[in-house]
Amino acid sequence: MSGRGDNTVRNRDPAPIQITAEQLLRDTKERQSSEVKTPIQKIQNSEELAEWRFLQRRHFEEGIKNQRQHMGNYIKYAKWEEKQDEIERARNIYERALDVDPTAYSVWIKYAEFEVRNRNINHARNVYDRAVTILPRVDQLWYKFAYLQESIGDIISTRTVFERWMQSFPNEQAWLTYIKFEQRCGKLDNVRKLYERMIDQLPEQSSYIKFAKWEERNGNKQACRAVFERATTELHQENVDEDLYLEFAKFEIRCKEIDRARAILKWALENLQGPKDTLTAEYTLFEKQYGTMDNIETILLAKRRDQYEAIVKETPFDYDAWFDYLKMLEQQNRPSEVVEAYERAVSNVPPSKEKRFWRRYIYLWIYYALYVELELEDADRAREVYKKCIQTIPHKSFTFGKIWILYAKLEIRQNNLAKARKILGEAIGRCPKPNLFKFYIALECRLMNMDRCRAIYNKFIEFDPSRCATWIQFAEFEQNLSETERAAAIYELGISQESLDTPELLWKKYIDLENTLEHREKVEELFERLLQLASHSKVFIAYAQFESKWDAEKARAILERGIEEFKLSGENAMRHQLLVCLKSLEESLEDNDERIQKVQKRQARIVHKQRENPETGIKEDYIDYEFPDDAMESMQMQFLKAAEKWKMAAQKKQAEEKQEESEAKRSKVEGEEK
């Protein structure tokens, strides 16, 4: 037990100095030595040198044995042998490396440089010759080979190397290297032939530009212009951008050929595909220096055109952008481009069949047809545009009456009235709309075909019998023809319909007609019928105003009737309007001061009140009216109630007195009996 107790920790409090893992690692790092010095080995004799070389070679051989494909081991080994002046051994190591991987072009280059350092030029040539034979697509080997040949002054061999290189179809830089070599040799004819071969093998824009600039540097302007012209004709349009035309134009400017330069830039702006921002900027600067205001405006329009093209390409359903673009093209007076742009615009049919998405789109067709008819004066093509538009519209979902109307107007302008009638008839049959009926009726009215107008009105009413405007227009049409009986019959049919959108307007027109014809009894009958259908203050006022022309007492009775009716129904606002009208009526009569004062006393007092909105629960202000008549009636009612209350109290008191008398008599009788 004692031994076990000795091993336990008696004091479990934390130590005053805490040692962390970080502190332990830092102390260990500080105690380490900063450098490991390698021992200095001194070689005293040839035997030690041979032994050291043996150990080094064994070390290199083991490295190669462990990593046979690693070319760095071979190169280090060869360089070490080279330092030991063991040329054959170093050459042998390079050959061993190439046997393992003949495609390692860095080994070929190190091998050739090794031979050059040791003045074995022919060996270096042979190495490069072998290298380019095995790896003809590695340009660095050809560069080194040609540089070696040129550095030793062997021009013929250098040219032979370049010719061998060109047979492997190298890139443009290889051709330019060959060309620079011939320039250093002063062989301008060879340079020109090389440029010709280069653009034949590499028909690229940059090749032509370099060829042309070389001809210009040599003072041969005609040849330079010919090269640029060849580039514009021989190169495919997809392989040409704005740089070629900019260089061509700059050359012409340097030659003082301003008109040529302008023609080049304009042609490029009109026909070149792809981005033309730099070209547009250069053309603008060119015209500012050499051109007129008209030319500058043309440039700005071309720039705007490119901007619009980018917008409509990115968002083809942005019809406002199409409108702006088409307007700009029309101002430039380019009919073929305008027609092509219209075709592209109308091909972007809205994907949804909701009419709100078609409202802007349909105007593209309208402007297209009007442009073709009025600007191009091609009526047949305008007909085709309208036909395509009608075929595009989903008539089962909705239609546009204006398209049918414009189509019919086109035929009218072409003196083809029968075709216009056929178009309007088809429109009414497929998709009847009020504007179609109105236009057709107006057309036949101008042609004085009244029977046709009546037939169209009948169709119009069959299409929508609840539309009061149609009944009114039909009746006014007959009224203008002095067919008042027909007009009255139409109004009578109209007001007999069960459902009308604005019946009060139809009744008013009917009453106005009978009033114009001075049919007083008919007007009174209509007012009474209208009051039975709709009891409204306006009807009472109109009725009273009509009667006031003949009988003021009857007008007064009508207003009093309305006031009493609205009093019972609680329509205070309408009751107030009738009282105001009654006051105006009394004031219009002579010697009527007493009645005016009575009516004035009956006028309502405006009162501002509050009420709670049942939907929102918020209190809101409203205007109400208090009438003196109601106050008088309430006072009378209070008096009657008080009288009735007094009567009931008197009757109760009288009954109590009678009861007390009867009880007194009964008690008296009982006392006497006792």
Range of the domain at 611: 565-645
Contact 548, 526 (CB under 8 A): no
Q: What is the DSSP letter of 167?
A: T
Report the 10 Å Cβ neighbour count for 514.
19
pLDDT of residue 364: 93
Q: Which of 457, 472, 540, 477 is nearest to 505 (CA)?
A: 472
Nearest Cα to 131, choosing from 102, 89, 172? 102
Q: Count Cβ atoms below 10 Å from residue 80 Cβ, excluding itself.
A: 18
Structure tokens at 51: 């032994």
Low-confidence residues in the chain, pLDDT < 50: 1-5
List the helix and strand counts (H, then E) for the chain.
34, 2
pLDDT of residue 3: 46
54 within some domain = no
Taken in order 234, 239, 241, 247, the sign of the CA dihedral is: negative
Judge whether 623 lies within some domain.
yes
User: What's the CA gap between 112 and 118, in Å, rounded?
Assistant: 10
* DSSP assigned state of 364: H
- What is the torsion angle, in degrees rounded to the nearest 10, for the CA atoms of residue 542, residue 545, residue 547 and residue 553? 120
Note whether residue 610 is domain-resident: yes
425 CB neighbour count, 10 Å cutoff:
15
Say what the pLDDT of residue 1 is. Answer: 43
Mean pLDDT of the chain: 85
Q: Establish if 635 belongs to a structural domain.
A: yes
Please state the pTM of the whole predicted model: 0.57
The count of structural domains within the chain is 1
Neighbours of 523 (CB within 10 A): 22
Q: Is residue 27 part of a domain?
A: no
pLDDT at 640: 57
Domain assignment present for 628: yes
587 inside domain? yes
Specify if 618 maps to a domain: yes
At residue 269, what are phi and psi to the nearest 5 degrees?
A: -65, -35
Rounded to 10°, the helix 71-83/87-100 angle is 170
- Ordered alpha helix ranges (H), 548-627: 552-569, 572-588, 593-602
Q: Which residues contact residue 372 at a Cβ distance below 8 angstroms, ignoring those fewer than 6 apart?
A: 339, 378, 381, 382, 385
Identify the sign of the CA torsion 272, 277, 282, 283.
Answer: positive
**Beta strands in 3-81, from DSSP E residues, in sequence order:** none
